[in-house]
Amino acid sequence: MFLVFLLIKTPFFHKTFLIKKNMLPLENYIDHTLLKPSATPENIIQLCEEAKKYNFFAVCINGSFVQLAKRELINSNVKIVAVVGFPLGTTAISIKVLETKTCINDGADEIDMVINVGMLKSKDFKYLENEIQAVKNELGDRVLKVIIETCYLTDEEKKVICEIAMNAGADFVKTSTGFGTNGATIADVKLIKEVLKGQLSIKASGGISDKETALSYISLGVTRIGTSSGIKIVT
């Protein structure tokens, strides 16, 4: 009985237990990401080659590169994640829907959409539910990750947007764009997990650049890691 208590409560043993018993290969958690405004087609081709070489789950890219990535990833298992309303989230709902439709038609498998943070701040919760539902309706069975940009939110706002995402049919809550004032934090992931109660998955992104940090999030139940440091993390 004492040994079982140690396995559950001691951080070192807790992490080791999860890694040995419940984890997929680390590369299966990685969305290999390149969202810099200066990214070139050559950079995207390299990103795709790296994703294939290291068996990452997906590449995460801007919508204008989806067709290129689709060609580069043909006959591979690597998925394509396209961002919508990125990075500010302030485009109209109709534009986010159009972006989503274009990305899917071009070959995207999943969408990471930035919410309108200002609407959350102003407590226009119906607007947020409508925009998430509208994008999800365009996606059907494809995965929608809702980027809530935690660095700009109070804890109460984080709780509210997680509830809205669940009600609106999203598949994931994602912490950050990586373009805000801060990225993922352990505290935020714990709070999000508490609210979601396993109903939606969690993607942690922003500032995750080493294996130890990635494993810390995975040990909390995160199922996807958004990072431009995927190679460093898995090697």
What does each C-alpha distance from 230 to 100, 161, 180, 197, 201 come to in angstroms? Answer: 25, 28, 20, 28, 20
Cβ–Cβ under 8 Å, residues 224 and 29? yes
Q: Enumerate long-range contacts of 193-198, CB under 8 Å, 24 or more apart.
A: 193/220, 193/221, 195/158, 195/159, 195/162, 195/163, 196/162, 196/166
Q: Which of the following is catalytic: 31, 109, 112, 171?
A: 112
Token pair 């939606």: residue: 200
Cα–Cα distance measured from residue 70 to residue 109, given in angstroms and rounded to the nearest whole number = 10
Is 174 an annotated catalytic residue?
Answer: yes
Cβ–Cβ under 8 Å, residues 157 and 121? yes
Q: Which of the following is catalytic: 79, 136, 158, 203?
A: 203
How far out from the chain centre does Cα 75 lie? 24
Q: Which of the following is catalytic: 109, 136, 174, 188?
A: 174
Cα–Cα distance measured from residue 114 to residue 128, given in angstroms and rounded to the nearest whole number = 11
Cα–Cα distance measured from residue 111 to residue 104, given in angstroms and rounded to the nearest whole number = 8
CA distance from start to end of the chain: 37
For the beta carbon of residue 39, count every other beta carbon within 10 angstroms.
Answer: 16
Closest CA to 50 of 24, 27, 25: 27
- Identify the bridge partners of residue 146 per DSSP, sorted by sequence position: 113, 173
Catalytic residues: 112, 174, 203
